[in-house]
Amino acid sequence: MTAFDPVGWVLARTGARAVTETRRLQSLWGGYGQLLRLHLEGGSVPSVILKQVIPPADVHESVADRRKRRSYAVEQAWYLDGARRCDSECRVARCYAAESSLLLLEDLQNAGFHPDRPPLAEQVRAGLHWLAYFHARFLGSPPPGLWEQGSYWHLQTRREEWLRMPRSSLKDAAEALDDLLRGARFQTLLHGDSKPANFCWNNRGQASAVDFQYVGPGCGIRDTAYFLDCCLGESGCESQADHWLDHYFTVLRQAIEQQGHSVDLDALEREWRSLFPVAWSDFCRFEQGWRGPSPMGPFSQRQLVRALELIKFRLR
């Protein structure tokens, strides 16, 4: 049997004559492979991104291992189908080819997009714009073949972390928080890991997103709450969350109207705004189980109080 030649595979799918340089950008989470930038000679593009999934030889089958392996299959399914529905307002990399453990993607650097952390105000604005248009694009019509529920931290796949939590009102409310988010009337497609490290920005105030391993249906405010938490943190959200939520919903309304969805915009905004404390508290639940118990800051405490009040209201 002839050994598989990944370089030959790349050349055949790009029309290039040779790979002139290979640069390793990073390893995949948990040592499950690597992300490479390949510089090409000839062909239509100067470079491409190659994602190689190579699970560690000594890895033991577990919930975490199965989750990681499926995440890469989901990402391939996303790029081969759902990604084609994205436009310049929610820019993603073009997929050149996918086969087994390889994913060949456009190098967004060639289109002027670069990672830059931590986000400045204009980058937060661009990231929320991307999320709003992405959520509008897939409102009520998520593509098939993805996770049944988007986001990498949702309760059904994080029972081990939940069990590690000490007894608390947050732990006790975990099921109810999850039920509220899963039961939202307005559902869309979630990026599922919308942290700044998974965005790139250009000098025209636009964002693009990468890493779709946890894409799947869900309530859009999950992505938005997580993005703001990762960008601004507890103290930043204390003073800026309301401002950025207003911006997100302004753009979301604009995007939904542009795309011609027949949706009650006021009802959608009321529901997703009311679920922001629930989404925030739900992520705190994951962090408390994954990182270990730590005191919640004032902003997080207030979100949990509001979430618990909403749970009591729904139970009446």
Q: 184: domain CATH number?
A: 3.90.1200.10
- Return the amino acid letter for 262: S
Count of domains forming the chain: 2
> Mean pLDDT over residues 256-277, rounded?
96
Mean pLDDT rounded to a whole number for the chain: 93
Q: Going by C-beta distance under 8 Å and a sequence separation of 6 or more, which residues neighbour residue 83?
A: 92, 93, 94, 95, 212
Q: Is 191 in the same domain as 105?
A: no
Alpha-carbon span 213 to 102, nearest angstrom: 14
Instruction: Give 102's strand partners.
Output: 52, 99
Find where tokens 């560690």 sit. 56
Residue 94, pLDDT > 80, answer yes
Residue 1 pLDDT level (bands cut at 50, 70, 90): very low
Of 93, 110, 127, which residue is a domain's last? 110
Q: Is 67 in the same domain as 81?
A: yes
* 280 or 53: which leads in pLDDT: 280
Q: Is 126 in the same domain as 102?
A: no
Residue 14 pLDDT level (bands cut at 50, 70, 90): very high
> Mean pLDDT over residues 245-271, rounded?
96
Q: Is 127 in the same domain as 197?
A: yes
Q: What percent of the chain has pLDDT over 90?
A: 79
Q: Is 47 in the same domain as 174?
A: no
Residue 193, pLDDT > 50, answer yes
Residue 85 CA to chain centroid, in angstroms?
Answer: 16
Q: Going by C-beta distance under 8 Å and a sequence separation of 6 or more, which residues neighbour residue 235?
A: 297, 299
> Mean pLDDT over residues 115-133, rounded?
92
Q: Is 232 in the same domain as 124?
A: yes
311 in a structural domain = yes
Q: Is 84 in the same domain as 147?
A: no
DSSP SS3 for 165: coil
How many other β-carbons are positioned within 10 Å of the β-carbon of residue 7? 13
Q: Is 43 in the same domain as 118?
A: no
Q: Is 175 in the same domain as 228?
A: yes
Of 56, 85, 110, which residue is a domain's last? 110
DSSP SS3 for 114: strand
Q: 106: domain CATH number?
A: 3.30.200.20
pLDDT digits (tens, 9 = 90+) for 267-309: 999 999 999 999 999 999 999 999 988 889 999 999 999 999 9
Q: Is 178 in the same domain as 290?
A: yes
Q: Is 60 in the same domain as 209?
A: no
> Mean pLDDT over residues 127-133, rounded?
98
Q: Which domain holds residue 259?
A: 112-315
Residue 47, pLDDT > 80, answer yes
Residue 17 sits at φ, ψ, to 5 deg, of -90, -35
Residue 117 pLDDT level (bands cut at 50, 70, 90): confident
pLDDT digits (tens, 9 = 90+) for 143-173: 888 999 999 999 999 999 999 999 999 999 9
